[in-house]
Structure 1
């Protein structure tokens, strides 16, 4: 057996590699929702970390491993490649296919898990927005996917929206820059795949009657083209250049993209403005810099809004000092208030965002600010306890914990 890895987890050596993945014993496996795959895929949990193991041909495994590592270096939204396990030999001497090992993305769901019940059109729209944004971000990096689909994407909740991640890169290719023809080809593949997946959902009764499968696939392309145009087009203005430039950059920041530089040229008394977009995550990076919290973009925006409100109420001029106090006096006490049995329901940033929303609705109903502590207690008892478990925990049954929470929220809130 041969393991190729930048940083191998010694626990990987304990897995039954001489056995085909299809026959791995259940005591090594994690029961997780799984998307459609042409390969045998198994989830395992080692020392608190969940990995996905996929059996495939060696050339394909090496190619995908290299691509995922390259995407990681570029900061792309994709799963993390961990290792390739090759030269596997069964007890009877049969040579087994290599296995690509990736780190499972916590709190993520394949699209079939999201569609475990009939989704409303509004929820479908948020999924399409996430998929379109993912494809745009990959294309900006010069990555040709070659098999964009719902099946090859993982979704994480992001403050009422979804964030999408690439989970299968075996048909991809990384270039310095994609041509319009390459982008069009990727879009057509996406359109075809998503149309077929939507028909499959419709046949299973999981697509809302108001949703047309053909419109779903066309809508992804439309949203992609709208976002791509906003990010890349050259804007022509005749006056008030500064205000137009600031407005353009603000729109891009609100979409979660940073602008590294702006190029301007004057042609026939018109100013041509073209921003250079370098990456997604404007709010994510600001939150990480101020607090050390790693969150999705929409989550980060909402957390920063709460931080800014706290700073204004506390009359703290120094942003770093305000961030430290907000983290220790507001965010962390809320997270600690959640009983251990319920912490696997939502990741901390999403939990905090939903509690903020819950507080707002309670305050609107009461006609006054109900305060953070009562909002937390109400959310735990009335909302969180009834939510399904979205974290990958072996042997955990969400139904076991569906009892009212008796713990009282810490008085520090």
Structure 2
């Protein structure tokens, strides 16, 4: 390291000084590089080991690096799913004093994958649709807080498995801007960018033989429009009904909760005659099931995973405590006697396959299929053993998925999808 290196960081980690900032990113030594799959980027991006975790390093201009760093920190404070900013490194020079590009450092999101890694031999139609649905949910969440992305694409998103679906995380905020409120024109512009980019990305997969022949890239990309508008209308649209149908207020709240959103404020108005009621959610907040699970058990999971775990917890409480169950006591017992024993049963060498909440969800699904096939109630311990041996052991690690060596002909990364392991049962 040479010159007056400048580091702006949200964390205190002296190990940042040990990385070879005096070298262009493209020639960093192999012992500094973590080999992970990455999406398409207009900038050079490499992964590196730092203090026991992995960071993504992107070379760019100083202004863009600082702007994106600040934007990601703001989005984190607003509880938006995005990568964690670690540092901005400026004033880089090589050993001869020549200026090098500034870099943005973000923390790699464990158990996440770029869309190109989410296929085995081909990207299946239902998987492509689920990716686009996850992208639509992320875009709605961003638009609700007034964020205009400007470069919506699968490549600028990371995906984590979420109980049969996917959760999407924003990776690239370089083109984004935050406003008090987005106009309909701004939202539609972002949607059109998403539609065009996603179609192009899927057509690129198709050209490389990595897209199922039954998948129509244009149809799938158009799906983001329908998914987005349905969710946006449910979250922000007003609803009118007769004053005798006040139960519909609770029904609207329940529908939003089922979608994973809480209402912090609800505007309720009646007309002059008092016969018509009009309601409209004013502030919606994502993560309804995540927060309830965290409050009851301390487990931090994706939204669909949290919903699945809560369903099992509620069934446990109803079975063991009846209608008068104290949910906090029941949650403590469920955590100690059901969830934790399942996670402890996973062999050490398999713990990097999936995150614990996804393991538990898949084990419940596996147990259900076993019970259906064998026409009996399969005990939990038996289901866990079967799941480990027939499903989990055959998955690639999603905590650290390694790219195939360059220069050699290999099949693409094989990520076993839910349908694959269901076929094995």
TM range (shorter): over 0.9
Q: How much does 1:125 deviate? A: 1.7
Cα distance in 2 between the residues matched to 1:186 and 1:157: 25
Q: How much does 1:115 deviate? A: 3.4
- Runs of 5+ unmatched residues, structure 1: 398-413
Partner of 2:379: 371
Deviations 1:59-87 (A, max 9, x none): 00011001000000000011111100111
- The counterpart of 1:254, out of the listed 255, 258, 262, is 258
Bigger Cα displacement from structure 2, 238-247 vs 44-53:
238-247
Partner of 1:407: none
Partner of 1:8: 12
Partner of 2:140: 136
Cα distance in 2 between the residues matched to 1:124 and 1:248: 30
- The counterpart of 2:283, out of the listed 258, 267, 277, is 277
Cα pair 2:135 2:168 within 8 Å, conserved = yes
Find out whether 1:42 has 2:50 as its counterpart.
no
Cα pair 1:84 1:99 within 8 Å, conserved = yes
- RMSD across aligned C-alpha pairs, in angstroms? 1.6
Partner of 1:391: 399
Partner of 2:340: 332
Cα distance in 2 between the residues matched to 1:115 and 1:201: 10
Find out whether 1:102 has 2:106 as its counterpart.
yes
- The counterpart of 2:370, out of the listed 343, 350, 362, is 362
Cα distance in 2 between the residues matched to 1:187 and 1:251: 24
Deviations 1:6-49 (A, max 9, x none): 22321111111101111011111111111001111111122321
Find out whether 1:161 has 2:169 as its counterpart.
no
Q: How much does 1:116 deviate? A: 4.8
- Runs of 5+ unmatched residues, structure 2: 406-425
Summarize the alignment of residues 205-284 of structure 1 with structure 2, pairs less than 5 Å apart.
205-267=209-271, 269-284=275-290
Summarize the alignment of residues 104-119 of structure 1 with structure 2, pairs less than 5 Å apart.
104-119=108-123
Find out whether 1:348 has 2:352 as its counterpart.
no
Partner of 1:411: none
Number of residue pairs aligned between Structure 1 and Structure 2:
397
Deviations 1:315-341 (A, max 9, x none): 172211111111111111111111111
Find out whether 1:303 has 2:309 as its counterpart.
yes
Cα distance in 1 between the residues matched to 2:191 and 2:311: 35
Change (3 A) 1:116 1:60: farther
SS of 1:96's partner is coil
Partner of 2:153: 149
Cα pair 1:45 1:394 within 8 Å, conserved = no
Change (3 A) 1:267 1:108: same
SS of 1:3's partner is strand
Q: How much does 1:242 deviate? A: 2.4
Partner of 1:322: 330
Cα distance in 2 between the residues matched to 1:150 and 1:250: 31
Q: How much does 1:168 deviate? A: 0.1
SS of 1:105's partner is coil
Summarize the alignment of residues 119-130 of structure 1 with structure 2, pairs less than 5 Å apart.
119-130=123-134
Cα pair 2:147 2:179 within 8 Å, conserved = yes
Cα pair 1:61 1:99 within 8 Å, conserved = yes
Bigger Cα displacement from structure 2, 227-236 vs 201-210:
201-210
SS of 1:101's partner is strand
Q: How much does 1:267 deviate? A: 2.5
SS of 1:42's partner is strand
Q: How much does 1:297 deviate? A: 0.5
Q: Which has the higher contact order (CA 8 A, sep 6+)?
A: 2
Q: How much does 1:394 deviate? A: 7.7
Q: How much does 1:277 deviate? A: 3.5
Cα distance in 1 between the residues matched to 2:353 and 2:90: 36
Q: Normalising by the residue count of structure 2, what TM-score does the alignment of the two structures yield? A: 0.91
Bigger Cα displacement from structure 2, 42-51 vs 66-75:
42-51
Deviations 1:370-407 (A, max 9, x none): 1110000001111111111101278999xxxxxxxxxx
Would you identify which runs of 4 or more consecutive aligned residues in structure 1 move more than 3 Å? 393-397
SS of 1:89's partner is coil
Cα pair 2:37 2:402 within 8 Å, conserved = no
Cα pair 1:30 1:393 within 8 Å, conserved = no
Cα pair 1:30 1:395 within 8 Å, conserved = no
- The counterpart of 2:55, out of the listed 45, 51, 56, is 51
SS of 1:95's partner is coil
Cα distance in 2 between the residues matched to 1:313 and 1:391: 35
